[in-house]
Each structure stands twice: as C-alpha cells, then as structure tokens.
C-alpha cells in the first residue's frame, strides 16, 4: 500500500515537471516566432498605415522632424505604398530583369555603381529629406550593405515621384549623381545620423548603370 502511494506521488511530480518544461518550451517558441504585423503611426494628426506589404521599408520612412505640415503629410501618406514598393524592388535582385525592361525614366543601379555581386544583400536604413508638394515628392534614401570581411557601407541616392493619372510614379533623380558613401553614427533621437563623406561617386560610374538593372 505504501509502495503504491509512493509510486503515485512520484508519477504526479514527474507529470508536473513535464508540464512545466512544456509550458516553458511553448513560451520560448512563441517569442522566437513572433510576427511583426505592423501598426498605425499617427503623425501630427495624420495616420500612416505601417503595415504589409513592404512593412520594413515603410518603417524606414522618417516622418517626424522633417518640417512637414498636415497637407504635406497627407500627400506623403497617399504616396507611401508606391514609394515603398519601388524601394523594395530596388533592394531585390529577383526583380532586376523585370525592372530593367520596364523602367522609364531610367533608375540608377546602386549595385552597379558600388560593384556589388548578387550575393550581397542590400538594405534600406532611412527615407528622409522630404520635399513635398501636391503633385511632386523628392527625397533621399540611405542604404547599407556589408561585404564579407569588410565594414558596413552606407550609401545615399535621391529620387523624385510625380502624381499622374495612374497614381504616384517614379519621375527621375533630382541630382545627376547620388550623394554617395556616408559616414554614420547613432543620434540621440535613435535614428542613424548620416552625412556624405564627399564626392565619392564618379560620373562614369553612373553612366555605366544607365538602366534599372540592380
């Protein structure tokens, strides 16, 4: 009788331990596989849907401290999906052939300018320096990449979008050459503060990338 009671107690303790480990495991899995579904960011009363698709590009939009009034923010909100989709395609090597065939006006290729191979991932850090009118948006995009055994390189280019009857579309580069390689540090605001190191891009490099080839 005593042996039977002892066996029952041991089995109960074992079950409690197993249940405890199972709960801990499931909790770890839940945090490991957390999916960022985005959010709505309200800036000066204007709601921006920072949601898929292209969630992480939209997160890179610098919307505060850009000297934008309410009307400009609303215009930027309307253009955000088109700008985010365009930027995502610039990052993706898989979209290169399609974009090369269909791009007009021509879009500079950062991969060609910087001689990046297809194995090197290209990321976006910040879209900022917004100049917004009712029918025209100009801005800069800071990119970064890391090649094996090399420090991270930050690079900036400039873009213009125009409002057409088909919606917001890429309308060229405001400057003849990119801003080029940047020197960056993290500011107190939490954003990376990046400044051009100088004229690091030669005009011939831009001429070597006349199309939307990435």
pLDDT in tens, 145-191: 999 889 999 999 999 999 999 999 999 999 999 999 998 888 787 77
pLDDT, one tens digit per residue, over 10-60 is 555 455 544 454 454 445 544 455 678 899 999 999 999 999 999 999 999
Domain match, 49 and 142 both: yes
Is position 29 within any domain?
yes
pLDDT, one tens digit per residue, over 75-98 is 999 999 999 999 999 998 755 445
Domain match, 2 and 84 both: no
Residue 69, C-beta contacts closer than 8 angstroms, at least 6 positions apart: 44
Domain match, 2 and 94 both: no
- With 0-12 / 13-18 / 19 or more C-beta atoms within 10 angstroms meaning exposed / middle / buried, residue 161 is buried
Residue 27, C-beta contacts closer than 8 angstroms, at least 6 positions apart: none
Is position 212 within any domain?
no
Domain match, 20 and 85 both: no
What is the structure's pLDDT at 37?
86
Total domain count, the chain: 2
Domain match, 9 and 52 both: no
Is position 199 within any domain?
yes
Is position 214 within any domain?
no
pTM score of the predicted model: 0.74
What is the structure's pLDDT at 34?
64
Tell me what the mean pLDDT of segment 102-130 comes to. Answer: 89
Is position 213 within any domain?
no
Domain match, 188 and 203 both: yes
Q: Which structural domain range is residue 98 located in?
A: 39-207
Domain match, 3 and 89 both: no
What is the structure's pLDDT at 212?
36
Domain match, 189 and 87 both: yes
Is position 154 within any domain?
yes
Domain match, 90 and 26 both: no
More confident of the two residues 177 and 99 = 177
């Amino acid at each position: 009788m005593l042996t039977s009671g002892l066996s029952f107690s041991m089995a109960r303790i074992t079950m409690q331990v197993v249940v405890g480990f199972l709960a801990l495991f499931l909790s770890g899995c839940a945090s490991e596989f957390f999916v960022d579904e985005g959010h709505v960011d309200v800036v000066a009363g204007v709601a921006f849907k920072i949601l898929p698709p292209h969630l992480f590009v939209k997160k890179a939009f610098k919307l505060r401290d850009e000297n934008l009034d309410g009307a400009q923010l609303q215009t930027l909100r309307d253009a955000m999906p088109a700008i985010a989709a365009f930027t995502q395609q610039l990052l993706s090597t898989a979209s290169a052939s399609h974009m090369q065939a269909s791009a007009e006006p021509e879009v500079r290729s950062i991969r060609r300018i910087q001689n990046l191979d297809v194995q090197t991932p290209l990321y976006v850090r910040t879209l900022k320096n917004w100049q917004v009118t009712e029918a025209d948006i100009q801005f800069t995009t800071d990119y970064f990449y890391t090649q094996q055994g090399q420090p991270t390189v930050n690079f900036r280019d400039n873009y213009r979008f125009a409002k057409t009857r088909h919606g917001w579309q890429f309308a060229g580069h405001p400057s003849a050459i990119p801003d080029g390689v940047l020197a960056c540090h993290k500011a107190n605001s939490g954003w990376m503060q990046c400044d051009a190191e100088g004229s690091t891009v030669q005009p011939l490099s831009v001429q070597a990338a006349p199309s939307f080839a990435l």
